[in-house]
Structures are given as structure tokens and as C-alpha cells.
Amino acid sequence: MDFMAGWGERWPAPAKLNLMLRITGRRPDGYHLLQTVFQMLDLCDWLTFHPVDDGRVTLRNPISGVPEQDDLTVRAANLLKSHTGCVRGVCIDIEKNLPMGGGLGGGSSDAATTLVVLNRLWGLGLSKRELMDLGLRLGADVPVFVFGCSAWGEGVGEDLQAITLPEQWFVIIKPDCHVNTGEIFSAENLTRNSAVITMSDFLAGDNRNDCSEVVCKLYRPVKDAIDALSFYAEARLTGTGACVFAQFCNKEDAESALEGLKDRWLVFLAKGSNQSALYKKLEQG
């Protein structure tokens, strides 16, 4: 790929769901060891990168409530510069479609797209592994978006293996609350000793989320959303929430659930995809 070609183009930053989440132990630093399945979705934020010659990293349209220098795209670009000594600058345009703080990983995905695309546009030549390691410094969900496909995750989510999943339809509700991840992981009655399972156990139907009970107790809107979605199909929590989802084999059934829910809830329809939208575009390019 001609590395100048991607300036000014729209690059996708897809959402993810955690189709299951088991907490199997704890690291010495207190972080919880997980087993999870990351499902890539076709629902995306879109980023556009414009070259600037003053060496600065800026946003064309900062997200309301997020100071520019805290934005994960700005932090990712600055991390690339400090890691490689690159002196180039960029102005980033974010088209934000993914709800923030709902567990769909939008901010992490924005960071990953920034790392992957600027690595190319700036001609830095870092490997995918190096970009995943840099991404982990920004958040536990960043590496999977650099990895770029649906994945079985272990560790704190950074130890990844590709997994092939049926590309089904998902209806996602974003309840009107923000779940504090730290609060959930510090809850006294959280299950922290789940047995380690295999990918085949998951594929055979072992798909529980160990955070679900605690989140539903602490956040009534999440419990209500699970109850509402359960009318159409089995409803589950993604990550530590707040979003809940149900999966459908065909688009018509998903659309009819969406129709029934959309007057009362903020709902999204998404298709699962084994390869992330970012890597689909990179392959096309």
C-alpha cells in the first residue's frame, strides 16, 4: 500500500462485544485474570487523519466531556511519537457513533485504529505485536482491536487467539447508566474463582458473564434491559456493561426485536464479523 494514500480517508474503529466473561483469578497487582470472547461488530466510529507540519497531535472536533489531551486517539498518536521518535504531526477527525462507557470498546478501538493507521501513514514499520504492546499501555481492550479479528482472550485480555464464530446478528441495548468497571471488580461478592474452560466448552454453550449478577444488583437499568431483551432471545451483559445484547441467526428476527424495543430503549443492530472492519479496509487498500 502506498503509505500516503490513507491521509484524508475514513478509517473504521469497530465495536466489540464480550460473548462471555469468566474471572479465573487475580494477578499480584490486583488485576483480575479473565477468559473472554471478543466478537467484532460492523458498528463503527470513523477516524480521518490529516497531515500537519508543526509536529502537533490535535483533534478537529474534540468529544464533549473528554479533554483533548485525554482522548485515546491523541494519547495513542503521542505514544507512537514518543516510542519511535517520530516528529510528524496529525489532526484527527472523529465521527463518534459508538456509545461511550457502555462496554462496546469505542474509545479503545479509536486508539487501536490510530496506532495501526498512523504506523502506516508515518511509515514507522512497527509490527502488529509491538502495536498491541503499546496499545495495552492505553487500556486492556486496545490489543484486541489491533489484533483485528474476533478472539479468545486470556490474561487481562491481552493474550489473544483468533476464533471463528458464526457471523450472526446482534441487538444491543445501551441502558441509561454508566457502569464503573473499577467498582464491579472491587465488589466483595464478585465470582473470582471460575474454573478455566476451553474454546470448545464455550462453543458448546458455556457463555456466562461472571460480572452479570453484581452489575444487575448495582444498576437497575441493566437488569431492566436484560428483562426487556429476554422477551426476544437470551440476553446477556457485555464486559462489565452497561450494554446488554442478544444474538439472532437472521436479520429479520433481529429487526423485529429492534422494532419492539426502540421506543423505550437506545438500541443498536449490528452484524458480527470475524475480521474487523479496519482490517477489511486495510486488505482492500
Ligand X SMILES: Nc1ncnc2c1ncn2[C@@H]1O[C@H](COP(=O)(O)OP(=O)(O)O)[C@@H](O)[C@H]1O
Q: Which residues are annotated as a binding site for ATP?
A: 99-109
Q: Please choose which of ligand X, ligand SUD, none residue 157 contacts, taking the beta carbon within 5 to 8 angstroms, the exact cut-off set by kind.
A: ligand SUD
Least distance in Å: CB of 2 to ligand X?
Answer: 27
CB 49 within 8 A of CB 7: yes
Cα distance from N-terminal residue to C-terminal residue, the chain: 6
Give the one residue of 110, 141, 158, 210 binding ligand SUD; rule: CB under 6 A: 141
Q: Please choose which of ligand SUD, ligand X, none residue 66 contacts, taking the beta carbon within 5 to 8 angstroms, the exact cut-off set by kind.
A: ligand X
Residues 114 and 57: their CA atoms lie apart, in Å, by: 11
Give the one residue of 14, 99, 105, 106 binding ligand SUD; rule: CB under 6 A: 105
From 141, 174, 210, 223, active-site residue: 141
Catalytic site includes residue 45: no
Residue 32 sits in the site that holds ligand SUD (CB under 6 A): yes
Least distance in Å: CB of 66 to ligand X?
Answer: 5
Catalytic site includes residue 262: no
In the complex with ligand SUD, which residue's Cβ is closer, 121 or 149? 149
Q: Tell the burial category of 268 from Cβ atoms under 10 Å away from its Cβ (0-12, 13-18, 19+).
A: buried
173: Cβ–Cβ under 8 A, 6 or more apart, which residues?
225, 228, 229, 243, 244, 245, 261, 265, 266, 267
Q: State the alpha helices, DSSP H only, in 97-219.
A: 106-121, 128-136, 142-147, 181-185, 199-203, 212-218
From 16, 81, 174, 223, active-site residue: 16
Binding site for ligand SUD (CB under 6 A): 18, 30-32, 34, 36, 103, 105, 139-141, 156-157, 181-182, 185, 239-240
